[in-house]
Structure 1
Amino acid sequence: MPVPGYDPDDVDDMLETRLQEEDVQSHLSDDEWQSYRNDDASLVDLLDDEQIEQLLEEK
């Protein structure tokens, strides 16, 4: 889910650099985690706006 006013690729890169694997995995279902690990979907595709904002604020 894109965040208004941001390039999804930039947001995805920022999330990946700020978060540890455990942080990401804890916010995804098993199927979402598998899609992310297989590069079938990015974090921006899998997380909603509220989750993205929360993760960025935490880190």
Structure 2
Amino acid sequence: MPVSGYDPEDIDDTLEARLGDAELRERLTDEELDAYRSEEASLVDLLDEDEIARVLGVE
């Protein structure tokens, strides 16, 4: 979900900081978590739009 005017890496960093490791493990499947940790996918790629909005508090 690209957001015009925002760097996806910055959004990923913010999502990771707000979720923390434990919540990341709860929200992502093992395959998604592996893809994220190996940098094959970003949190922006793996979380849906609603989840991102909730985590960032911009619902």
TM-score range (shorter-chain normalised) is 0.7 to 0.9
Aligned Cα root-mean-square deviation (Å):
1.7
What is the match of residue 27 of structure 1?
27
- Give the total of aligned pairs: 57
For normalisation by structure 2, the TM-score amounts to 0.73
For normalisation by structure 1, the TM-score amounts to 0.73
Identity, % of aligned positions: 51
What is the match of residue 49 of structure 1?
49
Q: Which amino acid aligns with 1:48?
A: D
Check 1:24–1:40 CA distance in 2 against 1; reply closer, same or farther (3 A cut): same
Return the alpha-carbon distance in structure 2 between the equivalents of residues 55 and 44 of structure 1.
12
Unaligned runs of 5+ in 1: none
Unaligned runs of 5+ in 2: none
